[in-house]
Amino acid sequence: MSLVQEQSQFLEDVALLILEAKKLHITLTGGELFRTPEMQEIYIKTGKSKTSNSMHLKRLAIDFNFFIDDNLVYEHESITKLGKYWESLNPKNRWGGSWRGLIESGKSTFVDTPHFERQA
């Protein structure tokens, strides 16, 4: 699948995610979709990212802000259902609150709850 096709499928899944968030009474606002290599390096230096190969560089990742009852929340427990839904949409989809089970299995300690990506 070409990068353009991956990006298109990613955005279709994002649309489904937004609809699911509404069902769960979570209001989403947009964070970051595209990121420059320079910004990625800043995020690595400040500990906000662990990789120079971020899917944001390919427009295959998005960060969201989550509001429940008009309160901004990032707590893992509040977003878990949405993250699991995201990962159920496609085997390439990963949520930063789980990384497809790596956090739960102890293979990763880096939690990035706002992050939803598609592996290319």
Amino acid identity at 93: N
What does pTM read for this prediction? 0.89
Over the stretch 15-34, which tens digit does the pLDDT of each residue have?
999 999 999 999 999 989 99
Domains along the sequence of the chain with CATH: 3-118 (3.30.1380.10)
Q: Is residue 81 helix, strand or coil? A: helix
Confidence of residue 76 (pLDDT cuts 50, 70, 90): confident
Could you tell me the two tokens for 41? 């390096």
Give the number of residues written for the chain.
120
Q: Are 93 and 120 in contact (CB under 8 A)?
A: no
Of residues 85 and 107, more confidently modeled: 85
